[in-house]
Chains A and B, each alone.
Chain A
Amino acid sequence: MAPSSATSPAADRSGAQLSNTKTTVEFRAALVAMAIVALIPLGVSNPYWLGVLIVSMYFAILAGGWNLLAGYTGQFSLAPATFAMIGAYTTGLLNHYFGVPPLLGIVAAVVVSGLVGLLLGRAVLRLVGPYLALTTLSFAEIMRLVASNSIDITRGDLGLGVAGLLDSRVGWYYLFLGALVVLLILFYMLLRSKAGLFLQAIRDDEVAARRAGVNVVFWKTAAFAISAAASGFAGALYAHFAELVTPELGLIGQTGLIVSMTVIGGMGTLAGPVVAAFLVYVLSEWLRDVGGYQLVVFAALVVIFARFFREGLWGLARAAVQRWGRA
């Protein structure tokens, strides 16, 4: 990682500029990748592969949101999939029982998951490392058990039928892509502002950040809430795309996928996790056809990347470009 992430947040000008340049480069790279993704439906009309790409975008939003919390703020939550599940059930239950239209339900999902994230973030404020991981893991499992055992309300593991929103798969494709790009722009604006420096300062040294006047309580909780709201948004969109909500959305394995994508792409980079979400998910569909080795491969990749290439694919790509530039 570049020594950019200002250790002293008190607007060290050069540090701030360096961090902004880094974020801007990553943002542009992410936009280029999204532009390529936008062109894919021109050549691919197979609904199966379009579906695969739509699910990739769902994971890209989740990975991006989790990266804001884990990669930029250093709060390693194991509950991103749970917030997607909470968002999906919010709009799902509103739609199923009260006939609330999907668009309104999605807004409600963002608000509800954001609020739950706010509460959880406030509760785990002082926990770090393994304590935080275990608390969020148990929160995730409790929520999933509640969703799958409240059979009278949620129909348990059978899943809850939800109204659709669009008829055409290409329409869904561009809706998800639009959502992803909007979130990327919001994250970019957030990270380029002072808030971005505050978050990274908290990650690098919480005590120093507090001494330098960063409102640590506020920003840590805010990062939790924003990340949860983004996950809830993705979950709600997905609910109307799949027209079904099940507790499986909150499985630990789903969180495992989100973590894999972020680690392989590069934690704490804007572009890495989003691009890796596409690579990992599309590759996994392809490997499933070849012999079902997708999860073995990913788990091994996560361990190898975490152990040897801790800046992920983004770090590898940057190193390659630099070497090429020098030669």
Chain B
Amino acid sequence: MSGIDVDLAVNGLITGLFYALMAIGLSLIFGILKIVNFAHGEFYMVGAYAYTLIALALGVPVWIALPLAFVVGALLGWLTERTLMRPLYAGYTSWGLMRDEYAVIVTFGLSLFLINFVDKVIGPYAYRGPPLVETSRVVLGPVLISGHRLLAAGIAIAVIAITAALIKWSFWGQQIRAVSQNRLGASLAGIDTAKASVIVFMLSGGLAAFAGALLSPVINASPDVGIFPAIKSYIIVVLGGMGSVPGAIIASLFLGVIESFGAVYISFQYRDAFGLILLMLFLLFRPQGLFGEKGREV
């Protein structure tokens, strides 16, 4: 392995960490409601804007703006759940429009709405967020990396670890997992399924917004900046098995590395198509993903 390969691997893994922040939330939502949130990328976009505007326009220190971006994303997640997701588990059976279709339409519509709303209210120009540290490059052996990216990767690892631990061991985390295994069974056991779904949406929105905030100095946030990270998250969630959090984390790192090498060694133009082809093949032949449980079909 030459120096450039080490550099590609490390940078791919770091990209994968940011993908994981997005994909965990998407996977949790799928687990609990069995839907794909097509507005997930817009939570990320809102997070990038929230961080940048709070830090630059209000002059708030970046270390306060960063958690505030999480809060904004969580609020948006809460609002989405309360206004749009409730019919999914409260009396949808009498609907003319079916449940799955409702979920696709309403999240797809929300995505279009948020993109165009931000485009009209804040403007179509790209905003660059302030970096957490000014160090422009750090050299670690063969790996060259900006100070901000290194620090952001460290924060991402911490946040992912805390989230995974909460889902695994905390009281609410266990309830969430119970609901995603069997909604009816969980509600019979006295778990408040509506509250579990609110928590998942807040966590999911917060994490995606946090990812957007961490990357805002790199991505130059514009209203449609969330589309590609969202597509990556769909790929990851399918690869890792819809609803599986460890699967989402492993698949994120895997995709980050694959893309990093693929763009250099295979084809730069088609780098986005490989993931999509993988996504189609998995959906057609192994819909439970690499780590998903069998029989998760909706």
Min CB distance A41 to B, Å, is: 32
Q: Which residues in chain A, 240-286, are within 8 Å of chain B measured between CB atoms?
A: 252-253, 256, 259-260, 263, 267-268
Q: Does B1 contact A (CB under 8 A)?
A: no
Q: Check B120–A292 contact: CB distance below 8 A.
A: yes
Residue pairs across A and B with Cβ atoms less than 8 A apart, 28 shown, are A74-B101, A76-B104, A124-B284, A127-B284, A128-B100, A130-B34, A130-B35, A130-B103, A131-B287, A131-B298, A133-B36, A133-B104, A134-B238, A138-B279, A138-B280, A138-B283, A145-B270, A145-B272, A145-B276, A253-B112, A256-B108, A259-B105, A263-B105, A267-B101, A295-B119, A299-B115, A302-B105, A307-B106
Considering the complex, give the chain B residue whose CB is closest to the CB of A302: B109
Q: Which residues in chain B, 83-112, are within 8 Å of chain A measured between CB atoms?
A: 83-84, 87, 95-106, 108-112
- Residues of B near A298 (CB, < 8 A) are 112
With A296-B116, A303-B113 known to touch, is A134 a contact of B283 (CB < 8 Å)? Answer: yes
Q: Check A256–B112 contact: CB distance below 8 A.
A: yes
- Residues of B near A268 (CB, < 8 A) are 96
- Residues of A near B227 (CB, < 8 A) are 252
Q: Does B273 contact A (CB under 8 A)?
A: yes
Q: Does B277 contact A (CB under 8 A)?
A: yes
Q: What 9 A-B pairs have minimum CB-CB distances, sorted nearest first?
A: A129-B100, A1-B96, A299-B113, A302-B109, A299-B112, A130-B36, A295-B116, A303-B109, A138-B276
- Residues of A near B95 (CB, < 8 A) are 310
Q: Does A135 contact B (CB under 8 A)?
A: yes
Q: Check A134–B234 contact: CB distance below 8 A.
A: yes
Secondary structure at the B interface, as helix, strand, loop or mixed, is: helix
- Residues of A near B103 (CB, < 8 A) are 129-130
Chain A residues touching B, range: 35 or more
- Residues of B near A26 (CB, < 8 A) are none
Q: Check A130–B101 contact: CB distance below 8 A.
A: no
- Residues of B near A127 (CB, < 8 A) are 283-284, 287
Other A-B contacts than A134-B234, A307-B83, A310-B97, 10 sampled, CB-CB below 8 A, are A74-B101, A123-B284, A138-B234, A138-B279, A253-B112, A292-B120, A293-B120, A298-B112, A299-B111, A302-B112
- Residues of B near A302 (CB, < 8 A) are 105-106, 108-109, 112-113
Q: Which residues in chain B, 3-27, are within 8 Å of chain A measured between CB atoms?
A: none
For the complex, give the distance between the alpha carbons of A193 and B99 in Å: 27
For the complex, give the distance between the alpha carbons of A324 and B116 in Å: 38
Count of B interface residues, CB-CB < 8 Å: 49
Q: Which residues of B contact A (CB under 8 A)?
A: 30, 34-36, 38, 83-84, 87, 95-106, 108-113, 115-117, 119-120, 227, 231, 234, 238, 242, 269-270, 272-273, 276-277, 279-280, 283-284, 287, 297-298
- Residues of A near B238 (CB, < 8 A) are 134
Q: Does A142 contact B (CB under 8 A)?
A: yes
For the complex, give the distance between the alpha carbons of A139 and B277 in Å: 8
Q: Which residues of A contact B (CB under 8 A)?
A: 1, 70, 74, 76, 78, 123-124, 127-131, 133-135, 137-139, 141-142, 145-146, 149, 203, 252-253, 256, 259-260, 263, 267-268, 292-293, 295-296, 298-300, 302-303, 306-307, 310-311, 315
For the complex, give the distance between the alpha carbons of A300 and B284 in Å: 33
Q: Check B97–A134 contact: CB distance below 8 A.
A: no
- Residues of B near A310 (CB, < 8 A) are 95-97, 102
With A130-B34, A134-B279 known to touch, is A141 a contact of B231 (CB < 8 Å)? Answer: yes
For the complex, give the distance between the alpha carbons of A94 and B280 in Å: 29
With A76-B101, A268-B96 known to touch, is A134 a contact of B110 (CB < 8 Å)? Answer: no
Most B CB atoms within 10 A — which of A137, A139, A145, A268? A137
Q: Check B270–A149 contact: CB distance below 8 A.
A: yes
Most A CB atoms within 10 A — which of B110, B116, B279, B297? B116
Q: Check B284–A135 contact: CB distance below 8 A.
A: yes
Min CB distance B232 to A, Å, is: 12
For the complex, give the distance between the alpha carbons of A151 and B101 in Å: 36
- Residues of B near A311 (CB, < 8 A) are 96
For the complex, give the distance between the alpha carbons of A107 and B1 in Å: 55
For the complex, give the distance between the alpha carbons of A263 and B102 in Å: 10
Considering the complex, give the chain B residue whose CB is closest to the CB of A2: B96
For the complex, give the distance between the alpha carbons of A260 and B112 in Å: 10
- Residues of B near A296 (CB, < 8 A) are 113, 116-117, 120
- Residues of B near A303 (CB, < 8 A) are 84, 106, 109-110, 113
- Residues of A near B276 (CB, < 8 A) are 138, 141-142, 145
Min CB distance B36 to A, Å, is: 4
Name the one of B98, B109, B270, B273 contacting A74, with C-beta atoms under 8 angstroms.
B98
Min CB distance B243 to A, Å, is: 11
Q: Check A130–B106 contact: CB distance below 8 A.
A: no
- Residues of A near B100 (CB, < 8 A) are 76, 128-130, 133
- Residues of B near A252 (CB, < 8 A) are 227
For the complex, give the distance between the alpha carbons of A307 and B108 in Å: 13
Considering the complex, give the chain A residue whose CB is closest to the CB of B231: A141
Q: Check A130–B116 contact: CB distance below 8 A.
A: no
Q: Check A130–B298 contact: CB distance below 8 A.
A: yes
Q: Check A306–B102 contact: CB distance below 8 A.
A: yes
- Residues of A near B105 (CB, < 8 A) are 259, 263, 302, 306
Min CB distance B2 to A, Å, is: 29
With A127-B287, A303-B84, A310-B102 known to touch, is A149 a contact of B36 (CB < 8 Å)? Answer: no
- Residues of A near B272 (CB, < 8 A) are 141, 145
